[in-house]
Structure 1
C-alpha cells in the first residue's frame, strides 16, 4: 500500500509537467485499475493529495482558453465592411425600385380643355427645366421639338471618343412627360413660323417617313420659345462644308467616325509619310469649354487606347487648338488659364491664340496670326479632322419672329426679353436659352435657371387666377347670404393674403454657380462661386469634382419615393447617372471602343 501511494504521488507530480490533455488521459487509465476501484486501498494521508491534484488538473483541462480581444483596427475594418456590404444591398435595391417606378408611373388625367394652352418650343436646357418644375394640371401643355429627347451637352465631347455612349446622355422627352401629373401633348416637328398676331405656330414634319399631313398649325394662349441657336460660321468660306460641329448627338457620331477614318487611313499599307502627318493632325477651332474639353478627350484617346493598338502611328498624332482671343477659357481666372495652357503644353497640344481663320478647304485651314509685335502673318495648317466649336447664330425661326415685332428691330443676337423673360413688343410670349438676349452668357446654366424661373412664374399665375376667381365668387355671395357675412368676409381676407404673397414674385436674377472644364490627363479646372468670392482649383482632385458635379447634374424624369430619403436617392439614382457612371467604369477597365461606327 505504501508503494502504491508513492506511485500515485509521483504520477501526480509528473502530470503537472505535461499538457492538459496528456495530464487528464492517465487518470482515465488508472480508473480501470483495482487499486483505484477500492477506496480502502488508499491511505488517509495519500488520499487528499491525490484528489487535490486530480481536481486541479481536471479544472485546468475543462476551463475554456481565454479569448484574445480583437484590436481596434480590426474592429473598425469589420464594421466598415459590414457598412459597405449593407450600403451595397440598399443601393441595389434602390436602383431596382427606382427602375420599377420609372416603368410604372402613376396614372395621368386629361387637363380641363377650358384652361389656357401653353406651347413650349424646344427640348433643350431651358424648356426641359421648365417642364420638370411646371404643374401641368394648370394648363393644356403642348411641346414641339424636332428631337424627342433632352441632351446633356456638357458630356458631349466625351461621346466623340467613346468614353461615354451617346444613349447615356440622352433622356427621352416622352419619359419626362409621362411622369407629370396631367397629360402633355408632344409633337416631333420643326416650328417653321410663329404668327404672334394670330397666336399660332406653324409646324412641319421633318422625319424621314412622311404621313398624309406634313404641315399644320398649333394655336396657343401662352408661348415659350426655347429653340436655342445654330452654329455660327461668321461667313468664312468652307466652314460649313468641311468642318464638323459639336452641338448635337449626330455631330458627335460624325466626329467619332471621322477620327477612326483618319486613323485607319493613316495605318494603310505604304501610306505616304506627309499624308500620315496630315491625317493625324486634328484641328479644333474655339478655345471655350467645348473646344478645350474635346482637345483633352482626343489626346487621352490616342495616349490611352490608339497608342496601344496601333503603336507605329501614334507618335505622329498631333492636336492644335485655334483661338481668336488672346487666351483660351476667357471666362476663367488667369490662374486657371495659365494652368490649362501649361497642361496642354505637357500633353503636346499646341495652342494658337490671336489666330483668325479666314478660309477652310477639304485638307487645309488658312488663318491670320497676330504676332507679339503687332504684325500679322498668314499660315496654312493641314488637317485630317477639323472641329468647329465657336460661336452661336440666330435661327431662321427667330429671325422671322424678330422681323414681325418692331420692338426687336435693334436686337441682333436673339429675342430681347425683359426681367420676367417676356419677349419685348409681343403678347404672351416668353423666351429662354440661347435664343433669348437677357444680358447673360449663352450657357446651359443660364438656360436651366431661366426655365426654373418660368415654371415658378407660370405656377404662380395659375394660383393667382384661381384665387381671384374664388374671391369674386365669394364677393358676389355677400348679398345673397347675409347670415354668413362674417364667415365669408374672413375667407376673402385669407384668400387676399395668399394672393398678395403669390403675386410678390421677383424678376429673374441669374446666380452663377461656377465654371468647369476638363483639360485631359485626368485633370480639370474649376472656378466655383463660394460665399462672396470664387474658388479656383485645377488638377486631379478637381477632375474628381468635375465628374461628381456632372454626374449630379444629369437629369432624371422620375421622383423616387423610397422611404424618407427620396430626395437624396432621386438625385443619386437617376437613370442617366447610372448609365454615365457605368460607361466611365467600362472605359477605365476595358478601354474606349475604337469601332468606326
Structure 2
C-alpha cells in the first residue's frame, strides 16, 4: 500500500456495476471492490471498418488487425487496399518454408553440408528476402572477426547477439540440411510483429506517401510483386524515450542500450521541442519548458 493506493495484481475485471467492480485472479477467485469513481482502461477494440474488411477478405486470420504483405498491401484485396499503423500487421514470410531452395543455393560445393562461410553468405543473401535474417547474419559476422568484442557491440544489438541461435556456432561448424532447417526454425520462432507505436506508423505512412508520389499505387494493377522496382517496407528502430519526471527520462538507444537521468531528460525535452511540425509550435513548447522551470505548474498562486 502506498499513499492510500491498493494494487490488485494478476487479476482481471469481470464486471462493473453501480459502486462495485468485480475482479477475478488467476486462481478463479472473485473479489468485489467498492469504488466512488472508476476509471477502467481496457485497451482498444478492432475498428469496425477493419473488422468488416477482415470478415470479407480471404486469408485474414489475425485477431486484431489486417494482414498485409511487405509492401503494406492488404492480403486478399488484389493490391487495391493498403493499411498501416494499428490497423495492420505485416505477414512476415518464414525462411524455413523455403529451406530446400536456400540450402541448395548455399551449398556451393555440393557437399551436402554447409560450412560457416557458406552459412554466413546465405544468411546475408537471404536477408534481402527475409529481413529478420539480417541481425543473425550480423551476429555470425561478429563472431568471426579479430575484433569480435568491438564488432559485436556495434554490428548487432546485444540482446540479439545473446539470444540468437548462432551465438553458439563455432568456426568449424558444419551443418547438414536437417540441422540447417532446425536453425531456420529457431530463427523464425523469434519473429515478432512490429510494435504498435507512433514511430512505426510514421515510417509506414511516409513509405506509402512515397509510393503515392512515385505513382506506384494505382489500384489492382499495383499487385505486381516489385511495384515498379520499389523496395518493401523496412522498419528502422530509432530508439525509445520516456519522461519519468523530475527532469529525468529513460532512453533505449540502439547499439548503446538504456540511458537514464537528467541528461536523458534534456535530450527528451530537446526532441519533443524540435519534433514539432512548425516553428511556432517549437517556440511555444520551448517557452513552456522555461516558464515551468522558473514558475512551476501551480497556477493557483497567480
The bucket for the TM-score relative to the shorter chain is: 0.5 to 0.7
Which residue of 499, 521, 529 maps to 2:246? 521
Q: CA deviation at 1:591?
A: 3.5
| Partner Cα distance (1:387, 1:317) in 2 | 18
Q: CA deviation at 1:511?
A: 1.1
- Which protein, 1 or 2, shows the higher relative CO under an 8 Å CA cutoff with sep ≥ 6? 1
RMSD of aligned Cα (Å): 3.3
Q: TM-score, normalised by structure 2?
A: 0.53
Compared CA separation, residues 428 and 463, structure 1 to 2 (3 A) = closer
**Does the alignment pair 1:575 with 2:280?**
yes
Q: Please list the CA deviations of residues 221-276 of structure 1 after superposition, one character each: whole Å capped at 9, or x if unmatched.
A: xxxxxxxxxxxxxxxxxxxxxxxxxxxxxxxxxxxxxxxxxxxxxxxxxxxxxxxx
**Does the alignment pair 1:448 with 2:202?**
yes
**Does the alignment pair 1:432 with 2:84?**
yes
Q: Contact 2:58/2:75 (CA < 8 Å) preserved in 1?
A: no
Q: Contact 1:524/1:542 (CA < 8 Å) preserved in 2?
A: yes
Q: Please list the CA deviations of residues 144-169 of structure 1 after superposition, one character each: whole Å capped at 9, or x if unmatched.
A: xxxxxxxxxxxxxxxxxxxxxxxxxx
Q: CA deviation at 1:517?
A: 1.9
Q: Please list the CA deviations of residues 408-433 of structure 1 after superposition, one character each: whole Å capped at 9, or x if unmatched.
A: 2x232111111000111114211111
Q: Which residues of structure 2 form unaligned runs of 5+? A: 91-192, 219-226
Name the SS for the 2:59 alignment partner: helix
| Partner Cα distance (2:37, 2:75) in 1 | 42
**Does the alignment pair 1:540 with 2:268?**
no
Q: Contact 1:421/1:508 (CA < 8 Å) preserved in 2?
A: yes
**Does the alignment pair 1:367 with 2:59?**
no
| Partner Cα distance (2:298, 2:31) in 1 | 35
Compared CA separation, residues 376 and 413, structure 1 to 2 (3 A) = closer
Q: CA deviation at 1:535?
A: 1.7
Compared CA separation, residues 377 and 587, structure 1 to 2 (3 A) = farther
Matches for 1:449-528 after TM superposition, within 5 Å:
449-461=203-215, 503-528=228-253
Name the SS for the 1:536 alignment partner: strand
| Partner Cα distance (1:351, 1:538) in 2 | 26
Q: CA deviation at 1:455?
A: 1.7
Residue aligning to 1:412: 63
Q: CA deviation at 1:361?
A: 4.2
Which residue of 354, 358, 377 maps to 2:10? 354
Which residue of 36, 44, 49 maps to 1:397? 49
Name the SS for the 1:507 alignment partner: coil
| Partner Cα distance (2:44, 2:282) in 1 | 29
Name the SS for the 2:82 alignment partner: strand
Residue aligning to 2:101: none
Compared CA separation, residues 541 and 390, structure 1 to 2 (3 A) = farther
Residue aligning to 2:189: none
Number of equivalenced pairs? 189
| Partner Cα distance (1:550, 1:505) in 2 | 32
Residue aligning to 1:248: none
Q: CA deviation at 1:362?
A: 5.1
Residue aligning to 1:587: 292
Q: CA deviation at 1:435?
A: 0.8
Q: Please list the CA deviations of residues 41-82 of structure 1 after superposition, one character each: whole Å capped at 9, or x if unmatched.
A: xxxxxxxxxxxxxxxxxxxxxxxxxxxxxxxxxxxxxxxxxx
Compared CA separation, residues 447 and 385, structure 1 to 2 (3 A) = farther
Name the SS for the 2:215 alignment partner: helix
Q: CA deviation at 1:512?
A: 1.3
Q: CA deviation at 1:405?
A: 1.5
| Partner Cα distance (1:435, 1:429) in 2 | 12
Q: CA deviation at 1:462?
A: 5.9
| Partner Cα distance (1:535, 1:457) in 2 | 34
Matches for 1:89-238 after TM superposition, within 5 Å:
none
| Partner Cα distance (1:422, 1:509) in 2 | 14
Q: CA deviation at 1:352?
A: 5.1
Q: Please list the CA deviations of residues 82-114 of structure 1 after superposition, one character each: whole Å capped at 9, or x if unmatched.
A: xxxxxxxxxxxxxxxxxxxxxxxxxxxxxxxxx
Q: CA deviation at 1:368?
A: 3.6
Q: Contact 1:460/1:503 (CA < 8 Å) preserved in 2?
A: no
Q: CA deviation at 1:365?
A: 4.0
Question: Which protein is richer in strand relative to its size?
Answer: 1
Q: TM-score, normalised by structure 1?
A: 0.28
Residue aligning to 2:118: none
Compared CA separation, residues 415 and 462, structure 1 to 2 (3 A) = closer
Compared CA separation, residues 365 and 594, structure 1 to 2 (3 A) = farther
